[in-house]
Structure 1
Amino acid sequence: MNQESANPLDNLQLISINEMIDSVAGRQLKDFGKVNTEIKPDGTLITNCDRWSDQFIINGISEITNNQEGILSEEGSKILPTTNAFWVVDPLDGTTNFAAGIPHWGISIARFRDGEPETAFLDIPVLKKRILAIRGKGVWINGQSIKSKRNLHSQSQCVSLCSRSINILQKKPHERFPGKIRLLGVSSLNMSSVALGQTFGALEASPKIWDIAAAWLILTELNCIIKWLDINPKNVKPGEDLSSRNFPLVTAISSDHLEQLIPWSNILMEYIYPQINLNL
């Protein structure tokens, strides 16, 4: 791969990506709640809008990067690209909500360099909210910069759980959970809610790389803490098939808040991944 393709994205490329996301968000809003679903082999849902969005984004990225950067997507290739710079795409995170007419879903796109996300886009079409994160430069919502300490001033008492992690409550029926539970049904929105101060923490039991790619950078740029409960995604190898690889995690706005959730993350891992020897 030539050196130019491994440079940070320039302003023209950023504009092109935003225009691409505008087109995808527009199509999704038209189809919202009006599409039929199918069940994929892994048991998750898919719609024709997922497929269209995925292909449109892949084509757009390929054009913007002159086919020089690999792409991993939920509905396409799930092999980690071997190029130094590559993209991870979830064209419609929250298909179940989308198909059911529940207004919580997102478009998640992240460009990686040297194994970590460098630029991330998370669009929430119904809310007309687009989050952009650039490594070392910060986070913007609809073009307005967010200060890195904003999330720490949150007085939220809420914690986001995924549908699988809710089972931890059955393991400690007589112990009070340290927050008010929220389930959005969308991994990227669960995680980004911590970065935006809407919740003080989140537990994700079985997210895939495309679920976490954009939110990962948003969290780190806003000084949130992510504790990977199994493998750190920075350690996966180029050419690895990530279709079945989960990246369980707990994230929080501070180390003190993280400590409140660690005992519950231990239960989560013991319940779902009993074969893993935890040292948390």
Structure 2
Amino acid sequence: MVTSVLSSEQLSAIHQLLDRIAERQRSDFGNIISDVKPDGTLITACDRWSDAELVKGLASIAPGEGVLSEEGSQRVPQSRAYWVVDPLDGTTNFATDIPVWAISVARFVDGRPSEVFLDVPALGQRFVALRGRGVMRNEQSLTTATRQHVNSACVSLCSRSIRVLQRKPNQPFPGKIRLFGVASLNLVSVAMGQTIAALEATPKIWDLAAAWLVLDELGCPIRWLDIDPAELSPGQDLSQTSFPMLAASSWSELARFLPWGEALLQP
């Protein structure tokens, strides 16, 4: 029987699972050889191991709930509750000895994220968001006020969204550009107040799943520029589906950057 929320025992088990995977990733960092996937992105043995461990661990923690993973099945599970996993978000950073990557684990119930975990192994940080119950970083609560204390003029772009600069050559971009190389952390940077907006051109569901709930819980508006991920269908193949999106620290910032988001989709 699927429960709407996870029990405290299940939450604790997920933390233990993430601890074990994060420890292995830190151990492998700097000592890994990567391969190239058909889409041109990198993958390592650590990606594959982490994916297998997450799928096995989640099946034990929440029996009967399917798993959609970047390195495994990329179809929306048939179960009412299911997991969306990116075992190593930022593989290029990881494989080239840049110490910024993340483990992204999100549980969806009725098509929307319900409990999410975003671990940053190299920085020793873990974000946990529970729908309607807020966000914590390393067991410390985050709030809208926390974000507003940071005075940032930075905007996060991904490597593909940076092409908007060519779409508006006669207009200066209204912010200092930052590229973290990790989609989930690009988006969470808005919720943290490190950036005032983030524009992602081609994020997959596993890139945005955990960050989506963090942004929601901290009052950061999101504009889906094409497909709304809340409208997925059981069995749908998401291997080639992207969800271009703009996230901002406020509705006024969203309006200010929306023309740049819309320019991203121009042919």
Q: TM-score range by the shorter chain?
A: over 0.9
Superposed displacement of residue 223, structure 1? 0.3
Which residue identity does 1:238 align to in structure 2? P
Q: Is the 8 A contact 1:158 1:179 kept in 2?
A: yes
SS at match of 2:32: coil
Aligned residues of 1:152 and 1:254 also touching (Cα < 8 A): no
Secondary structure at the counterpart of residue 90 of structure 1: strand
The percentage of aligned residue pairs carrying the same residue is: 55
Q: Which residue of 2 aligns with 1:63?
A: 60
Please give the residue correspondences for 1:19-38 in structure 2 after superposition, counting only pairs within 5 Å.
19-38=16-35
Partners of 1:102 and 1:27 in 2: CA distance = 16
Tell me how far apart the structure 1 counterparts of residues 145 and 231 of structure 2 sit (CA, whole Å).
28
Aligned runs of 1:91-240 on 2, under 5 Å? 91-240=87-236
Q: Give the aligned residue type for 1:15.
A: S
After superposition, the C-alpha distances for 1:206-237 in whole angstroms (9 at most, x for unaligned) are 00000000000000000000000001000111
Match in the other structure for 1:242: 238
Partners of 2:75 and 2:179 lie apart in 1 by: 29
Match of 1:259 in 2: 255
Whole-angstrom distance in 2 between the partners of 1:240 and 1:152 = 38
Matched to 2:28, the amino acid is: D
The one of 44, 49, 68 equivalent to 2:46 is: 49
Q: CA deviation at 1:56?
A: 0.4
Number of residue pairs aligned between Structure 1 and Structure 2? 267
Of the candidates 83, 88, 93, which is equivalent to residue 87 of structure 1? Answer: 83
- What amino acid maps onto 1:116 in structure 2? R
Q: Which runs of 5+ in 1 are unaligned?
A: 275-280
Post-superposition CA distance 1:77-104 (Å, at most 9, x none):
0010111100000000000000000011
Contact 1:88 1:109 in 2 (8 A): yes
TM superposition outliers: structure 1 runs of 4+ over 4 Å: none
Give SS of 2:108's match.
strand
Structure-2 separation of matches of 1:121 and 1:84: 19
Distance apart, 1:173 and its partner CA: 2.5
**Aligned with 2:144: secondary structure?**
coil
- Unaligned 5+ residue runs, structure 2? none
C-alpha root-mean-square deviation of aligned residues, in Å? 0.9
Name the amino acid aligned to 1:256.
S
Secondary structure at the aligned position of 1:223 is classed as: coil
Deviation at 1:259, TM superposition (A): 1.4
CA distance in 2, matches of 1:37, 1:53: 14
